A and B are shown apart, each in its own frame.
Chain A
Amino acid sequence: MDSRRRVIDPKVRKVGFFTPGPPPDRTQSGPAGPSSQSPISNSLSPVMIPPARQASENLSRGVPVPPNVLRGHDCLDVGSYGMSESVMSEETESPRRVGIDGEFSEDSANWMRNPRDNGKSPAVDNEDSEDVAKAQFQKNSKPLKEKTTKAERRALQEAQRAAKAEGKKAGATSGVSAPTSKPVKQPNQKKDVTLLASSSTAVPEKKGGEKSLEKDRKKETVPHPRMQFDDKSRVEKAKKRSVVQQTEARNRVEIFRHLPQYERANQLSDLESKFFQLDHVHPAVYEVGLRFLAGDIMWSNTRCIAMLQAFKKVIEDYSTPSEKTLSRDLTAKINSSVSFLIECRPLSISMGNAIRFLKALIQKSTLAQTDSEAKASLCSDIDRYINEKIILADKVIIRHAVTKIRDGDVLLTYGSSSLTEAILLHAHELRRQFRVVIVDSRPNLEGQSMLRRLIEKGLSCTYTHINGVSYVMHEVTRVFLGAASVLSNGTIYSAVGTACIAMVAHAYHVPVVVCCESYKFHERVQLDAICSNELGDPDVISKVPGRMNNPLDDWASKENLQLLNLVYDVTPADYVSMIVTEYGMIPPTSVPVIVREYCREHILI
């Protein structure tokens, strides 16, 4: 067992403090797996490199995203183990990633010594980057099945270092001093470099066409400027293309002119009636679009999964037309589907990440593959993304987060988050004694459905509205929040109201724990909730549930009156004590690390 672990290189590198051990009842897991009570994982170290497969194998519970599956009992049997095994199976992807990650860990050591070794900051020039490209190509062209041993990798690294030293001697310094003084050789460092947005240090991802690729890369690094809806000409253009009926809403709020807002009243019925005219939209995409529009799917995880499943169907039904290449034509097809979905409801950041991943995959499918091969690999990759980035990540997060729930705790949660709910239910299954405070807010009142589900499971709940949060905060010991996205300056982009809760918790010195899968992390930064947001249907604000005649019933006819239904807000990083990701529990300041080290990983696959 132990020897085997040594061979397998780390795949999931955890940062920050994380769950030291598996749940106690995990000891009789499948005999094939490495024993989870490894000495490494028991010690508490801020930076740890656990065995590769542990992350997937120690998942004790199957916690799928749909809520009805949540009530499934503990899946401690071998079956679940087998499932996760197949998901994370080494045949498909691990060797390469193993190589990369192993390298990185080595490399981080390098980086520590680097100033001593070289005695100068590694300035980089073009020659050097070519070297890197070559070296990287070598590495990438290695047969995937082959496992790189430590010795091999060290040898490779030595060679790289030598090459770099050479290049440095010969080359003129480009003047781009990397104050972080990271060796630019390693493939992982590309992310870092690109984040710095210094094009001269950018390392081309693939061989050939260096210049254009560099440009691409730059484009990819800096987040695209989002469409600003106060730009009249562009809005007009977009409108011509649009499928969903988009009549500009009246009485729009001045400072939100840059965000799209349309009359919701008959969008749905209009779109439904167009069913037979929409030839270019795949039925699966159409269905997902309708459900977005109707508001059936609210959670960002479920939305993302629904979208990916629909795209999988698109790919399955796709056949490349003659005289076209799959990578281009399918991208166009996906693009049109995406824009259709955007018309139904603006994409969440996590969905944007997933689409980026999918496009990168399609781009990489080469001419050498046949149609069916490419399609099959795409579909399996999508499945893997869903499993690995969402479902398994959730399980790991649940395991981490449960360790923060003690007996006698009073946990506050806001609105409805699938992940938070799963954490609470899991803690309840572990027989922790705690109480839940559910804070809810208009207009969606999502907390009520969550309240209902938690009560059915036998949790003791307190329910209040967001204004009463100061009242209940006295008794609360922990705040658990979900997030729609975590931005790289540590701010939490989440359902509107989350910031209020975090603020009040901060004022009352209650720790705020944000649970978020790392696929939702984004390198964008944001300081307030105005610049980028989503506007919901303003009509729902005027309607108060359980009241017959509301004072604002005829709001649209009044010129001076606007109703604003924000969907997201931004929680400053200093209100957040801890972010729980599948890589561990990190402070908000470490978000850029996760973004850099892991979130671009899927593009590299």
Chain B
Amino acid sequence: MPDTHALVSDFLNKLKKRKIEGSKAAAKLTAELLRTVISQQRLPNTNQAAALIHAIKAIGEQLTAANPVELAVGNIVRRVLHIIREEDLSLTTASIGGLNLQALSDDEDNVDRDDQPVLSAAAVAAAARSTLRPPALQTLIEDVSHSAAIHHSSSSAGDSEEKTKSTDKNSRSRKLKHNVIETVNELIEDIATCHESIAEQAVEHIHHNEVILTLGSSGTVIEFLCAAKEKKRSFRVFVAEGAPRYQGHTLAKELVARGLQTTVITDSAVFAMISRVNMVIVGAHAVMANGGVIAPVGLNMVALAAQRHAVPFVVLAGIHKLCPLYPHNPEVLLNELKSPSELLDFGEFSDCMDFGTGTGSPLLQVVNPAFDYVPPKLVSLFITDTGGHNPSYMYRLIADYYSANDLVLQQRPTS
């Protein structure tokens, strides 16, 4: 499978070089990559789910290591793992039917069984809707799985005890793969449409003559505000420009083009203006399990100001930004320092900057963090594509989307 290898390493490179901007793009690309990997993965006759999980985990480990800060990548890997487990479970239960229930090799499934009745049902339903499946992909899958099965039946000698059910397994393997890819497709679809499903809720939150403050730029925020505008709500938006990238300027331009009353303010004027603001609506980089938010830099300041003036601080986040990890010291560990050139002119200060080559201690350090951590107590509401949630509810939402076994992507050396 040289092509998947090439794809993976290409994606790794992009992640390492920070070529992929935004968690949505990263999530989408990851999901697509994993779909390709799954479809090209050869599966053994037995314990296919475990093999698939193993393969995905191996790739996921590399991906998260390539850019540990882009949490969406890890999230998607875990989502896919969870999908595989779910599909495997539903297939096993379906094939066994009402007969005697035998303990499965994957002991993990016992954990998930009681957690996920709704989702697995949905997955089964999704698998049934085979008409939605793109034909090219279907042929690809069948082709690969067929050859894989043939190959496997001839070569694999280790798993002798299950060989008798080879034909049954073969169809099951095809079914599993097929179902998994079906669901991954849905996941990709979800990521692509998360803006719209979040924006649908805009009217419920924005009313006439409201004053809304936002900082920097986020695609979700643009969609959200414009959706409210399209519903004939007239309101005013303060846009803090979001140094050092000044994406607020682009956001303001976009909003004005859609006919919204927009005022651009400097980041430093946030505290001065917050007393006249009804609601702060911002995007996020990632939402942690404790309800804390990894957000573009500056938002902690905005959240503090909003708390001071009791202004609701609303975070828009697609479900792919939901990270099942609890943060520890996220300001430092889940942060990234960008180039000092965004803040200071190299030419002007080059003589005193720390290039790591000079002798003696440098006089000047430039700190240009990319993210802020907003603790959950400062967040009033999360609006995700599944609706509004409290920060305290996030841990529960995580249980819906992730399996507890996948939280750590690093593989144990034994497995």
Are A563 and B271 neighbours in the complex by a CB distance under 8 Å?
A: no
Q: Which of A441, A470, A472 contacts B266 (CB 8 A)?
A: A441
Given contacts A467-B243, A541-B241, whether A528 and B264 have CB atoms under 8 Å apart is no
Does any Cβ of B come within 8 Å of A462's Cβ? yes
Are B344 and A448 neighbours in the complex by a CB distance under 8 Å?
A: yes
20 A-B contacts, Cβ less than 8 Å apart?
Answer: A255-B276, A441-B267, A442-B243, A448-B344, A452-B348, A455-B352, A461-B365, A462-B365, A463-B365, A467-B267, A468-B367, A500-B271, A503-B271, A503-B305, A507-B304, A542-B264, A544-B249, A551-B253, A561-B263, A566-B269
Does any Cβ of A come within 8 Å of B390's Cβ? no
Does any Cβ of B come within 8 Å of A466's Cβ? yes
A461 to B344, CA, bound (A): 13
A504 to B345, CA, bound (A): 27
What class of interface size applies to chain B in its complex with A? Answer: 35 or more
A58 to B352, CA, bound (A): 36
Question: By the criterion of a CB under 8 Å from any partner CB, how many residues of chain A are at the interface?
Answer: 59
> Which residues of B243-267 are within 8 A (CB) of A?
243-244, 246, 249-250, 252-253, 256, 259-267
A566 to B331, CA, bound (A): 29
Q: Is the interface of A mostly helix, strand, loop or mixed?
A: mixed
Are B249 and A462 neighbours in the complex by a CB distance under 8 Å?
A: no
Q: Which of B9-17, B55-63, B110-118, B293-301 binds A?
A: B293-301
> Which residues of B267-317 are within 8 A (CB) of A?
267-273, 275-276, 297-298, 300-301, 304-305, 308
Q: Which B residue sits closest to A527, measured CB to CB?
A: B275
Q: Which B residue sits closest to A498, measured CB to CB?
A: B268
Given contacts A442-B266, A455-B364, A530-B275, whether A504 and B343 have CB atoms under 8 Å apart is no
In the assembled complex, the CB of A558 is this many whole angstroms from the nearest CB of chain B, namely: 5
In the assembled complex, the CB of B375 is this many whole angstroms from the nearest CB of chain A, namely: 10
Q: Is the interface of B mostly helix, strand, loop or mixed?
A: mixed
Does any Cβ of A come within 8 Å of B368's Cβ? yes
Given contacts A544-B246, A546-B345, whether A463 and B305 have CB atoms under 8 Å apart is no
Does any Cβ of A come within 8 Å of B369's Cβ? yes
A442 to B262, CA, bound (A): 19
- The CB with the most chain A CB atoms within 10 A, among B236, B308, B344, B363, is that of B363
A167 to B353, CA, bound (A): 74
Are B244 and A563 neighbours in the complex by a CB distance under 8 Å?
A: no
Are B268 and A463 neighbours in the complex by a CB distance under 8 Å?
A: no
> Which residues of B168-217 are within 8 A (CB) of A?
none
Are B367 and A462 neighbours in the complex by a CB distance under 8 Å?
A: yes
Give the residues in chain A near B262, CB-CB below 8 Å: 560-562
Interface string of B344-375 (1 = CB under 8 A from A): 11001100100000000111111111001100
Give the residues in chain B near A503, CB-CB below 8 Å: 271, 301, 304-305, 308
Q: Which A residue sits closest to B265, measured CB to CB?
A: A564
Q: Which B residue sits closest to A414, measured CB to CB?
A: B268
Are B365 and A561 neighbours in the complex by a CB distance under 8 Å?
A: no
Are A564 and B301 neighbours in the complex by a CB distance under 8 Å?
A: no
A210 to B271, CA, bound (A): 46
Are B253 and A472 neighbours in the complex by a CB distance under 8 Å?
A: no
A533 to B372, CA, bound (A): 30
A503 to B306, CA, bound (A): 11
Does any Cβ of B come within 8 Å of A276's Cβ? no
Are B367 and A569 neighbours in the complex by a CB distance under 8 Å?
A: no
Given contacts A528-B275, A560-B262, A569-B269, whether A465 and B243 have CB atoms under 8 Å apart is yes
In the assembled complex, the CB of A162 is this many whole angstroms from the nearest CB of chain B, namely: 53
In the assembled complex, the CB of B313 is this many whole angstroms from the nearest CB of chain A, namely: 14
